[in-house]
Structure 1
Amino acid sequence: MGERIAWVTDSSGCLDVELEQNPDVYVVPLIVMINGKEYLDGVDIHPEEMHRMMKEDKVAPKTSQPAVGTFLDLFKKLAGEYDRIIAIHLSSRLSGTYSSSLQAAQMLDFPIMVIDSLLISYPMTFLIKKMMAYINEGLSLEEARGKLERFRDSNELYVLIGSLEQLHRSGRMSATSFILGSMLNIKPIISIEKGALEIREKTRNEKRAKTKIFSLFKAAADRGTIKECYLLYGSAEEQTKGLKTQIHDLYPDMSVSAYPIGTAVGVHAGDKTLGISWFSDRSCI
């Protein structure tokens, strides 16, 4: 019988049904702060409610990583039930969550592997499934980790910012850029580069922005390097309908699924945010 492995992640991701029903997967909530009050992400507050409060109260929520002690308590509990722990977390360049988890792991005399996904939302969570698969194939932990990191680095992720106002309120855009962007109807597209958010394009309206996002996906799809993609949304899956239709019309065999973008980006980007992501390293599939 193989090792019993506990899998730990954080609430910035999005578990699909398979992972939700897996009793060996544990989620540590990030902290969302609104008007001086703290909420546990996914426990006390969910994306829909957070976006409603942002819109109605004109507030700028902030997120904070779980405390080292929170991870330590969980790791101690799991150490009594499992042979090993593998934790995969939100990009370390967007949150201190990975750091908190790593510090807690170093406090225990127990085999704990902590991995920096350098990603967000479902693409981050998908790495858990890949790591599980690699281990089930019989790879050693270090071989599996190396393969996972190569697969991770093949990810592309693009996000159409839903609200310049929210980007400004959250401190990610200067007042001058916000005013000029609003006047010119600028719709920025951001990407994740080595774990950090970077502005990839600045388009003049939403239609052009969506066209650009689709063209980025199409270029990759036409190379034949991807077989599935993930659509990411701010507060309502309905936002992905048009993009999903475009993809299915051109690529009927492409697997397309939709997931909330999560609080880590949602607090900055707004409820009308739309994103697309895929992995293109077929050698690691």
Structure 2
Amino acid sequence: MIAIVTDSTSDLTPEQQEQSSIVSVPLYVLFGGTMYRDGIDLSTADLFRGLKEGKKTPSTSQPSPAEFAAAYQKALESADEVLSVHISGLLSGTVGSARLAAQDFGGKVTVMDSHTTAMALGMQAIRASVRAREGAGMAQIVAELERVQAQMGLRFTVDTLDFLRMNGRIGGAAALLGGLLNIKPILGVVGGRVEAVGRVRGAKKAQAEVVQYVRDYVGKHGRTRAVFICTEGGEATLEDIRQAVAGSDIEDFGLFHFGAVIATHAGPGTYGVGLEPISV
């Protein structure tokens, strides 16, 4: 039997974790002098409310190797092996902590870099869990996830550039100019990094860009599993996108919210889609 471990940037709900027997190790958000566990102690609503009240911009950090070791030890009480799948190593040191912990388990723990984040990572963890329950071996599951990773897509846009500015992702002048011109960046995870893959002027054009991305992806990859992700304030736009692509050849995996770690960098009103081919 193979147990699946991931981290909180996967944005899996507690219900999904329980149903799929997935263990999620939380990252941390340091905010207002307090260290919070992502997905447990701090909601995105609390995060944005605190920022509006003038609290200092939060910082984020990965779990320690000891926390991963504890998760692996518990998982191995009822499993023979563990597959641990995590946020891209180019976005966080989380997968590095997991690999350090895995060294103490005599080859029973396999650690994978998902090369992505959010529910694009979550879908990989769920796929791995399903395949494990079906009786697939570790090599089979790892090979399938590697094929998925090569084809997976994640596109999103932000309502304001202020949060990217506050977290040092863009300069103040660029944020100011973008705000004045109503420029909306189209962002994607490319090669494990968040990159600007386009930009449009205005919210409607940004929405149309995401819709077209879904249609183009389905045209290229065929039957597609789609997950719709947002922070607080992005729900209405995301529902419009879901309706717009409803006639496409997709399996709608549902609407989810980014956790506090990702919301720290993205801000309110962020929305996007994660896509993977159902057959790989």
Q: TM-score, normalised by structure 1?
A: 0.89
Q: Which piece of structure 1 moves more, 136-145 or 238-247?
A: 136-145
Match of residue 119 from structure 2 = 122
Match of residue 164 from structure 2 = 167
Q: Which piece of structure 1 moves more, 119-128 or 97-106?
A: 119-128
Say yes or no: does 1:83 pair with 2:77: no
Which amino acid counterpart does residue 79 of structure 1 have in structure 2? L
- Checking the alignment, whether the CA contact within 8 Å between 2:159 and 2:270 is kept in structure 1 is yes
Match of residue 183 from structure 2 = 186
Say yes or no: does 1:233 pair with 2:268: no
State the Cα deviation string for residues 150-195 of structure 1 (Å, max 9, x = none): 1122111111112211111111111121121112111111000021
Q: CA deviation at 1:225?
A: 1.3
Match of residue 268 from structure 2 = 271
- Checking the alignment, whether the CA contact within 8 Å between 2:39 and 2:260 is kept in structure 1 is no
Equivalent residue in structure 1 for 2:254, among 240, 247, 257: 257
Say yes or no: does 1:243 pair with 2:241: yes
Q: TM-score, normalised by structure 2?
A: 0.90
Provide the rounded CA distance (Å) in 1 between the counterparts of 2:250 and 2:244. Answer: 13
Q: Structure 1 unaligned runs (5+)? A: none
Q: Residues 23 and 187 of structure 1: is their aligned pair in 2 closer, same or farther, counting only changes over 3 Å?
A: closer
Match of residue 60 from structure 1 = 57
Provide the rounded CA distance (Å) in 1 between the counterparts of 2:101 and 2:211. Answer: 41
Say yes or no: does 1:134 pair with 2:131: yes
Q: Residues 254 and 9 of structure 1: is their aligned pair in 2 closer, same or farther, counting only changes over 3 Å?
A: closer
Which amino acid counterpart does residue 126 of structure 2 have in structure 1? K
- Checking the alignment, whether the CA contact within 8 Å between 2:226 and 2:252 is kept in structure 1 is yes
Equivalent residue in structure 2 for 1:222, among 219, 230, 248: 219
* Secondary structure class of the residue paired with 2:245: helix
Q: Percent identity?
A: 26
State the Cα deviation string for residues 29-50 of structure 1 (Å, max 9, x = none): 1100113321111221122222
Equivalent residue in structure 1 for 2:44, among 24, 43, 47: 47
Provide the rounded CA distance (Å) in 1 between the counterparts of 2:119 and 2:222. Answer: 19
Provide the rounded CA distance (Å) in 2 between the counterparts of 1:22 and 1:132. Answer: 10
Provide the rounded CA distance (Å) in 1 between the counterparts of 2:121 and 2:25. Answer: 14
Provide the rounded CA distance (Å) in 1 between the counterparts of 2:118 and 2:21. Answer: 20
Q: Residues 252 and 45 of structure 1: is their aligned pair in 2 closer, same or farther, counting only changes over 3 Å?
A: same
Question: What is the aligned residue count?
Answer: 279
Q: Which piece of structure 1 moves more, 218-227 or 237-246?
A: 218-227
Provide the rounded CA distance (Å) in 1 between the counterparts of 2:123 and 2:134. Answer: 17
Provide the rounded CA distance (Å) in 1 between the counterparts of 2:153 and 2:264. Answer: 21
* Secondary structure class of the residue paired with 1:44: coil
Q: Structure 2 unaligned runs (5+)? A: none
Which amino acid counterpart does residue 229 of structure 2 have in structure 1? L
CA RMSD of aligned residues (A): 2.2
